[in-house]
A and B are shown apart, each in its own frame.
Chain A
Amino acid sequence: MRRLTWIIATLAALAGLTALTGCGDGSDDNTIPVATVGPLTGQYASNGQQMKQGATLVVEDLNAAGGVLGKQLKLEIGDDACDPKQAVAVAGQMVGEGVPLVAGHFCSGSSIPASQIYGDADTVMISPASTNPALTDDRAGPNIYRVCGRDDQQGKVAGEYIAKHFAGKNIAFVHDKTAYGKGLADETKKAMNAAGLQEKLYEAISAGEKDYSALVSKLKRNDIDLIFLGGYHTEAGLIARQMRGQGMDTVLMGGDALVNQEYWSITGKAGEGTLMTFSPDPRKNPAAKDVVARFEAKGIEPEGYVLYTYAAMQAWAQAAEKAGSTASSDVIKALNDTEFDTVIGKFRFNEKGDPSLPPYAVYRWHDGDYAEIEK
């Protein structure tokens, strides 16, 4: 069974490749190329997969409804592997092809350098998932947007949750040195300290490694009750597994990058009780009901950033319709003063390019699934 899923994953990867090689012929006048860029390879590939699934369906839906400005959309998919260098290269490629919209990237560490490329070009970038504040605080151009929350908002919710529910306990902060991981850990620490709780340990790990046993023993010696990890689901999964392996019941808490079924496939039972922060589940949004059903009919669970990618393209399509053009200067005007009605709810962009979305919530993993918990 697992082999079968690999075969499917391989075919999907190959399909991604062909989609990329098919880029050159998108120039005929009846189609508009739009792109999504995320990690389709590497250890965060399952996150990129979420983006790809969301983008594929939204393009299908928009085309079925008549396209944008009477033209059909043509989806291009780029792979940045969450690598800043590759992200810049892919961004350059998309700009070179004159793609008017990039719904990307995923990792903040690749979105920020890529935004420098889009900022100088005629391509609107709407990141569905990059939460590092710097993306819009140090905005590379007026054409950079995101449809997800920010780590200072996320860190505030996480930090206050820890200070409230783990008052007087031993807390450790660990980050993976990436823009996302360190940013989130620091924001959470700041909020927690402001609420009057000091951490006992602050460490950095290298992403991509598998052996965190030394870290885990260190947590054990410091009698840590909760470890907050600024990082992605693979490292979080390994740490959770190795903590249980050493007989510890320390709680692991992470951010939105853990909203991914692959986390549970790594941890199994060791993931029980893991906490994470994420926006209120967009799947429960009444406006998303039809779309969620369509995803599920295709065997896709629209979790994590699937619907955000869908919404990023929806927002752009609505803005382009309103502007009557796909030129970025016109689309930007429409993006700035329209209220969008998308699968993640109604929102506007503020002057920084951040969306007005409901605040983050705390989730808990239980028995292979996660649900929002009381604050």
Chain B
Amino acid sequence: MEYFLQQLINGIALGSIYGLIAIGYTLVYGIIGMINFAHGDVFMVGSFIALIAFIGLLSIGITFIPLALILVLLVAMLLTAVWGWTIERVAYRPLRASFRLAPLITAIGMSIVLQNFVQVSQGARVKTLQPVITGGYELMHAENFAVSLSNIQILIVVTTIALMTAFWLLIDRTPLGRSLRACEQDRMMAALCGVNVDRTISLTFVMGAALAAVAGLLYLLYYGVIDFFIGFIAGIKAFTAAVLGGIGSLPGAMLGGMIIGLIETFWSAYFTIEYKDVAAFSMLALVLIFFPSGLLGRPEVEKV
């Protein structure tokens, strides 16, 4: 029981990070129907910006950790959002009217560009950050097994829940959310009704990138080791999560992230760790057989 609880905590923390990245995939797919393969690398850029900002703040004497973290969060979200906006403007918008595969190819290109840019500008070696948020709680004691919940895990889950709620409100209750949903349903009709489609799409990328930056910061704080390649593995997992949950669906992305995180963790916990990725991807295959559009995705209705 204690062991189960410990692994549940591990899985939820991992799943939250996957979920935050997965939202970026799902938002973009929902609105323009393309897979933004560069999103994992935007996440990676976000974590680098966070690290640089953090070291910068420490070097100018801001050592009060909560203040430093909030500033780092703002800087990382802002700068990564600018990256997101630029990528859309440079690589995707010119091709929006082109055939469907074109933006997919530029997305892969963009992913390579970002990876190589960071590799050259920041070096290929891993970058490390010593634990900033330390401490935690011991929840339960068995004979020789104490369930530990660290403060950073609490921060990850709380941040994720807060962001999800804020996002859900944004999409459900605000004018911006209304135009987002309108564009998702029918871009042409939305434009005819006076929605600025270009601006809405740009904002989608900005929001996705800002969320990726949050995930990047949490990742940096949780694991403390980043390199230019982290976007690839995290991106693949998060993309899988988005598809599993139903690509295009916001709660689906979060649910998918959680499921992937939990399957990986519990498979590792009770079976051999070697096959955890096989387990996660088998689950994806199974789900897609029974729910072709993902767990919470809406089936694509052929417009006649």
Which residues on A are within 8 Å of B, measured CB to CB?
1-3, 6, 9-10, 12-14, 40-43, 45-46, 49, 177, 203-206, 208-211, 213-215, 217-218, 220-221, 223, 234, 237-238, 241, 245-247, 262, 265-266, 268
Contacts and interface: CB of A to CB of B under 8 A. Distances in A.
Given A217-B6, A238-B225, A268-B130, A223 B144 contact: yes
Nearest to A214: B268
The 8 closest A-B pairs by CB, nearest first: A9-B123, A214-B268, A41-B124, A213-B10, A204-B274, A210-B223, A45-B124, A214-B265
Contact of A203 (B127, B150, B274): B274
A10 B121 contact: yes
12 contacts: A9-B125, A10-B122, A41-B119, A45-B126, A46-B126, A206-B277, A214-B273, A217-B6, A220-B145, A221-B6, A221-B145, A266-B126
Nearest to A269: B130
A185 B8 CA distance: 29
A214 B15 CA distance: 13
Contact of A214 (B124, B233, B264): B264
The secondary-structure label for the interface of chain A is helix
Contact of A204 (B11, B144, B273): B273
A43 B227 contact: yes
Given A214-B7, A268-B131, A245 B150 contact: yes
Contacts of B274: 177, 203-205
Given A3-B56, A221-B3, 15 more contacts: A3-B55, A9-B125, A12-B123, A14-B120, A43-B126, A210-B219, A211-B223, A211-B264, A213-B10, A214-B266, A217-B269, A220-B145, A241-B223, A262-B126, A265-B128
Main secondary structure on B side of the interface with A? helix
Contacts of A206: 277
Interface string B227-256: 101100100000000000000000000000
B120 A203 contact: no
A12 B272 CA distance: 41
B220 to A, nearest CB: 10
A42 B229 contact: yes
B13 A210 contact: no
Instruction: Specify which of B52, B59, B123, B219 lies most central, judged by the most chain A CB atoms within 10 Å of its CB.
Output: B123
A205 B123 CA distance: 26
Nearest to A270: B131
B216 to A, nearest CB: 12
Contacts of B233: 208-209
A173 B33 CA distance: 46
Interface residues of B, number: 48
B40 to A, nearest CB: 13
Contacts of B131: 241, 245, 268
Contacts, number: 121
Given A204-B273, A205-B273, A266-B225, A10 B3 contact: no
Contacts of A46: 125-126
Contacts of B146: 247
B10 A217 contact: yes
A174 B7 CA distance: 19
A234 B225 contact: yes
B106 interface: no
Interface in B270-304: 272-274, 276-277
Contacts of A237: 128, 225
Contacts of B126: 43, 45-46, 234, 262, 266
A13 B144 contact: no
Nearest to A5: B123
A11 to B, nearest CB: 9
A203 to B, nearest CB: 5
B177 interface: no
Given A2-B55, A266-B224, A266-B225, A13 B273 contact: no
A208 B226 CA distance: 10
A214 B3 contact: no
Nearest to B52: A3
A213 B13 contact: yes
Contacts of B264: 211, 214
A303 B3 CA distance: 41
Contacts of A6: 122-123, 127
A13 B124 contact: yes
Most central of A1, A204, A206, A214 by chain B CB within 10 Å: A214
A49 B274 CA distance: 30
B265 A213 contact: yes
A40 B52 CA distance: 22
Nearest to B270: A218
Interface string B131-154: 100001010000011101010000
A247 B277 contact: no
A12 B122 CA distance: 11
Nearest to A1: B59
Contacts of B20: none
B34 to A, nearest CB: 27
A13 B120 contact: yes
B161 to A, nearest CB: 20
Interface in B19-58: 52, 55-56
A204 B13 CA distance: 22
Given A1-B59, A49-B125, A246-B148, A217 B223 contact: no
B79 to A, nearest CB: 15
B128 A266 contact: yes
A211 to B, nearest CB: 5
